[in-house]
Amino acid sequence: MTQPEYSIWLMPSKTDLAYLSTIIQSLGRKYDAPVFEPHCTLFSPITDLKSSMKVIDTFDSQPFQVKSVGLNHSDVIWKTVFIELEMNDQLEWLNQKFSDIFVIDYEFKPHISLIYQSIPSKKRNAIIGTLNLKKYYKMHGIAIMDTSQSVEGWKKVY
C-alpha cells in the first residue's frame, strides 16, 4: 500500500471561499474540469501527518489579507489558470514553519488556482480575459488535505 501524501493548504475566509468556489465551479463546468476547494498550497507533498498537525497547533490563526498581483496561466496542470499572490511576511513565515521540519525541496510561489485542466495557451488567455477578480483575499485557517487520490478524491484530514 502506498503511503498517503498530504498538502498543507491556506484557506480563504468564508466569504472569499464562496466567491472563489463560484468561479472554480463555473470554469469546471465550462471546461469539463474537476471542481476543488479554493486554497493556497503552503507546502506539498508531505507524508508525516502528526508533525504537520503539531506545527499547525502552534499557530495563532488570525485572519490576514493577501494581495493579488494578477492572473496568470501555465502548462502545469496545477497552475492552468491562477491568481498570483504577492509574497508577504505571513505567507513567508507560514511556509518557513513547514520548511523547517520537512526536508523537501518545495518552491513556494503563492497562488490560488482556478482550474485544473489541460487547455491550450490561447484558450487559457481567453479565460483570463473573461475574469475580473478582486485585488485582496482574506485567508483564515490552515488545513491538511489528503491529496493522494485524483482531485475529486481529495479530502480534509485536519
pLDDT at 103: 81
pLDDT at 1: 55
Provide mean pLDDT across the span 39-44: 97
Average pLDDT score, the chain: 95
pLDDT at 143: 97
Count of all residues that appear for the chain in the document: 158
pLDDT at 117: 98
For 56, phi then psi, to 5°, come to -60, -40
* pTM higher than 0.85: yes
- pLDDT by residue (tens digit) across 59-113? 877 899 999 999 999 999 999 999 999 999 999 999 999 999 998 888 999 999 9
Could you tell me the pLDDT band of residue 157, with boundaries at 50, 70 and 90? very high
Task: Kindly tell me if the per-residue pLDDT of 2 is higher than 80.
Answer: no
Task: Kindly tell me if the per-residue pLDDT of 58 is higher than 60.
Answer: yes
Provide mean pLDDT across the span 124-138: 97
Task: Kindly tell me if the per-residue pLDDT of 129 is higher than 90.
Answer: yes
R_g over Cα of the chain: 15
Could you tell me the pLDDT band of residue 3, with boundaries at 50, 70 and 90? confident
Task: Please list, in sequence order, all residues whose beta carbon lies within 8 angstroms of the beta carbon of residue 112, skipping any fewer than 6 positions away.
Answer: 12, 20, 38, 39, 40, 82, 83, 85, 137
Query: 21: part of which helix (H) or strand (E)?
Result: helix 14-31
Work out the percent of the chain whose per-residue pLDDT is above 90. 90
Question: Grid coordinates representing 144?
Answer: 491538511
In order of their start, the domains of the chain are 6-156 (3.90.1140.10)
